[in-house]
């Protein structure tokens, strides 16, 4: 079966979200939120806590890291391996100004020598796989193949490519054509990312790639991961149009979605405590009700909730 991965997303892919996704689609590979190698190197309490995971329900679990100092990548990688992660992913794709201004994230695409040094330092430190998530390029895809070839030569075991440049951020349509071309030139697995919104889209976009990575499309619709896994597990790797495949989210009534929504809340509270857990659930709750009748009124209440019981009362269960 092709790889199906949940994209690492800051403020989203915490343990509660990962465990929810894994319950729906156990085949999914999950990643931590991206974590600073500097913070791991110095043992920052908050960052170390964000690496915690449930080995019974979250494997394979990959820790995604960012930074620019090879020596800190080396020490951080050892810590990640020791805490039991199944792999390390290096973020070379985040386009946020606060990240790129420090030569982190997608800014590394402008310094392929340093990018390769970071991969090499990480590989030298650990025995677990080391992958890289990046973009098509800074302003164009012209250097994608040369950049990624250097990363593979430095030891990268896999690549995940978001089909937009740094300049595009998240605007415009993702372009997967350069990713297909890259796959022809490298020997490691290549995963495509960007605009995978359904199982049908995943099947249509897979092409010669080894898998797909899905991020923003899971907001309010974690069921999409199950749909994609089910489609890839089918013998023909396709969603038959003749059967008029209907996504799970459309097959379920809102009432049928509520038990999973409540479970997500309970997971968040159990893992982060009542106050923080419910605060962080508010954005998810707003996404869960998007598009349903009365969504505006529900959203205005759900973004203020402080307990699971409040959520139950608002949703009428």
- Residue 298 CB contacts under 8 Å (≥ 6 apart), including other chains: 289, 292, 314, 315
Let me know if 229 is a catalytic residue.
no
Identified catalytic residue from 94, 148, 229, 265: 94
Q: What is the 3-state secondary structure (H, E, C) of the chain?
A: CCEEEECCCCCCCCHHHHHHHHHHCCCCEEECCCEEHHHHHCCCHHHHHHCCCCCCCCCCEEEEEECCCHHHHHHHHHHHHHCCCCEEEEEECCCCHHHHCCCCHHHHHHCHHHHHHHHHHHHHHCCCCEEEEEECCCCCHHHHHHHHHHHHHCCCCEEEEECCCCCCCCCCCCCCHHHHHHHHHCCCCEEEECCCCCHHHHHHHHCCCCEEEECHHHCCCCHHHHHHHHHHHCCCCCCCHHHCCCCHHHHCCHHHHHHHHHHHHHHHHHHHCHHHHHHHHHHHHHHHCCCCCCHHHHHHHHCCCCCHHHHHHHHCC
Measure the CA–CA gap between 52 and 115, rounded to whole angstroms. 27
Which active-site residues does the annotation give? 94
């Amino acid at each position: 079966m092709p790889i199906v991965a949940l994209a690492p997303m800051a403020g989203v892919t915490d343990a509660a979200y990962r465990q929810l996704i894994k319950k729906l689609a156990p085949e999914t590979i999950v990643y931590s939120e991206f974590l600073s190698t500097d913070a791991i190197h110095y043992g920052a309490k908050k960052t170390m806590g964000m690496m915690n995971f449930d080995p019974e329900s979250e494997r394979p679990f990959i820790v995604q890291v960012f930074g620019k100092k090879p020596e800190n990548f080396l020490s951080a990688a050892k810590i990640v391996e020791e805490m039991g992660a199944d792999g390390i992913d290096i973020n070379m794709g985040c386009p946020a100004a606060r990240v790129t201004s420090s030569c982190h994230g997608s800014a590394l695409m402008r310094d392929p020598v340093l990018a390769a040094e970071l991969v090499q330092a990480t590989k030298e430190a650990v025995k677990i796989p080391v992958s890289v998530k990046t973009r098509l390029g800074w302003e164009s895809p012209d250097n994608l193949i040369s950049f990624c070839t250097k990363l593979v030569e430095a030891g990268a075991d896999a690549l995940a490519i978001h089909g937009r440049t740094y300049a595009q951020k998240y605007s415009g349509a993702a372009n997967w054509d350069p990713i297909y071309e890259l796959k022809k030139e490298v020997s490691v697995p290549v995963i495509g990312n960007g605009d995978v919104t359904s199982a049908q889209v995943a099947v249509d976009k897979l092409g010669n790639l080894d898998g797909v990575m899905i991020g923003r499309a899971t907001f309010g619709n974690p069921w999409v991961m199950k749909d994609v896994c089910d489609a890839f597990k089918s013998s023909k790797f396709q969603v038959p149009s003749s059967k008029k495949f209907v996504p799970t989210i459309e097959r379920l009534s809102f009432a049928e979605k509520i038990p999973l929504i409540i479970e997500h809340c309970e997971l968040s509270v159990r893992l982060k405590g009542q106050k923080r857990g419910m605060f962080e659930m508010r954005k998810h709750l707003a996404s869960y009700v998007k598009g349903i009748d009365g969504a505006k009124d529900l959203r205005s209440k759900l973004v203020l909730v402080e307990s699971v019981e409040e959520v139950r009362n608002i949703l009428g269960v």
